[in-house]
Structure 1
Amino acid sequence: MIAIASLFPRIEPRLQARKYLLALLSDLPKRNGWTIAEWVGDRQPDATQRLLNHARWDTLGVMSAIRRFAVAGLDHAAGPGVLAIGALDESGQEKKGSATAGVKRQHMGCAGGIDNGINTVHLAYVRAGSGHALIASRQWIPAEQVADPVAAVTMGLPLDLAFRTKGELAIDLLTDAYADGMSVDFIASDEVYGACTSLRHFLQEHAQAYVLRVRSSFTLTLGAETAMTCADVVAKHLKQKRKWTIRSAGAGSKGERTYAWAWIATASPVHHLLIRKHRKTGELAFHYCFIPIGRPVTLSRLVAAAGLRWPVEETFEFGKDLFGLDQSQVRLYHAILRHTVLVMAALAICAVAAAAARRRTDTQAPPPTHPDQAPPADPGMIPLTVAEIKRLFNAATTTTRSLLHAAHWSAWRRRHQARARWFHQRARLATAYALLS
């Protein structure tokens, strides 16, 4: 388990944090102060609210312990030679009113557009074929709230808090992670972070390879000092079909996620432009890449790194749907951070357990090789997932149903998912054959 007891000066908040963590791991449909207090057996929500709002404990120290636990656990499960990625992204939570720290009308991915809410920048640790977990988080606070002394006091903002862009918050997260010994092959991100010049310089100063998404208007210099946007590069140099290569960005639940890829050298020997094109829609995605001199650089390696950014979205899905990442009903800056940290702990426990069990619980039948292939008599089972680990944990610790009953239903679901996955893969083969004919 995660060693965090010494980070709580008093035993009462430590015990309350343990109860809070068990509630996050439970099957509660909503996780807030009231529902958690009722689930853990408290007479009122005061102790839960005190844990988040007023109790003395080292929140960032707990986050550091979670980070070391998650990285070590995923590394052990993955073994040597497997790509490790640090993925930067943000996650939102819709909020009402204007009293919550960081709340503002802004773009919210969870809302599909502009809405009232808060945004938090996250760093996820991803190990290819093993698993992924959140290992660092910082909430983005608008400049006007930082500058307003009344708002700062009301929202519980730290006295020394300075405004930081999302790219600068990403630098803070990476600084903490490097201090804890995190080592990754690549940093990956979406366009918000790829556009941050200071983040790119920070990574290059640390000799950290990266594959960062950038917009089509991003300008780079090709040979002979020719400055072009990414869109112009495609229009001028990639008109011919033979210049694109079909590669998989990784395995999905329905088969390989194949795209057309192109790799363009820039005037700098350490910078490259990686371009992904959707095979049906033609939609383009651009990745600005940095590979230090002496490091291996191949198209396959860059494609694999770019493809390993997507698990951070799955990590957010797990965090929200399974552990209540977006269900904090608190307003103060440090209370929101403490809820996030405890959710990170719950997610890390299940992610490391799933990674450790992955090889011995994956009994899926070999994938189909032809669209007319008959289904296997036994589809096997997909490996234990974070969701299944959580269900089994609940069966072993908090429910009246037997663990044997829970294990039966876990096996039934995993076998059903393996069968569905096999048929999805065969359907994709049929589509691929149709395109070639």
Structure 2
Amino acid sequence: MLLIKNGLVYLDGNLTKTDILIDNNKIKAIGTGFEAEQVIDAEGKLVTPGLVDVHVHYREPGQTYKEDIATGSRAGARGGFTTTLAMPNVIPTPDTPELMQQMVKANREKGIIHVLQYAPITAGETSDEILDYKGLKKAGAVALSNDGHGVQNARTMYLAMQKAADNDLIVASHCQDDSLFNHGVINEGPKATELDLPGISELAETTQIARDLLLAEKTGVHYHICHVSTRTSVDLVRMAKARGINVTCEAAPHHLLLSDSQIPGNDPYYKMNPPLRSRSDVDALVEGLLDGTIDMIATDHAPHAKKEKTGDMRDAAFGITGSETCFSMLYTKFVKPGIFALEDLLDWLTIMPAENFGLENCGQIKPGAEADLAIFDLDHPVTLKESDYLSKGVNTPFTGQEVYGSTWMTLVSGQKVYERGN
């Protein structure tokens, strides 16, 4: 048996000083007075359920020079994540039950954390061909997404939502109307003008959200919006929830931490999709989290090779890594100044993603549950360094920041999968 003692434990939405007894990979009991052969002294540390990220890109198969399941899952573990949902924009896309079975098997065998798998909404992610959702779900798909691509045809999305609802599958959408995207690289506005870079209109996101919310209302599907980034998007979701539409959404850490006004120049590390938006949009995301309009935080961990994130923004890849910086950056910038309560941040990273995606046996610490746990050091600052990252991707502008809340240890099924310094 293993005993984690003296930690400040996030339990049932509250922080409690208590111990956790682990036996046969599961949480046996919570309380004090236990003895065990192995003891982890978490004095002065925060003990949480393993974090849950419903939006990552592991690039395997097809683009493993950027990332693979092993490195992506190690990066997740280093960030305190024990369950992640991998997007299907790999080569080939897992758009048949046979390919989905292969993906699920690879995730299980190569991942050191629990790596669950999305199936695409349509064949190849960019077509109008609706897939065998029943077969994909049976093969292990947990949800549907064409992430990286908006579904351009309204009828295609309508039929997909109908079929997804019939099979009790979530449709998670990257909302992007290509006719309004304008081949942009950063948010349309003063910074784009200053840097003489093509801008991306917020309408590319918001018009497709408005369309899809009406389709979701008609079909009754659970519709999830990936990485909302604008004030209007938040307003639309707020109105939809008031109408009783079955919608959830996520915010990404970079959209909470940075506005386009902070882009220092033509730097590809600041190129992401959706782009960094205005300060007003950032404020709206914070408000949306605090009032419950935005349900959760998800990283959109998107690693790229260095050569793809150098030079001119016009030619560089979209994307930012997030698994290893998410908790520490948000804790440092929002919890320490008192903008978010620590309990709320943990809720958005554990309970809410697990509950809203129907993920069993993760997101909470309770007797009988799998012993998936993260232990964080809130008191001692560290500097984010490229040399410390376990992801193949180092494409984040947060490198060099001094942060609190670094991961001290991560356990999956009671086994250490990450320990700082080892």
**TM-score normalised to structure 1 length:** 0.25
Structure with greater helix percent? 1
Q: Between Structure 1 and Structure 2, whose CA radius of gyration is higher?
A: 1
**TM-score normalised to structure 2 length:** 0.25
- Asked which structure has the greater RCO (Cα within 8 Å, sep 6+), the reply is 2
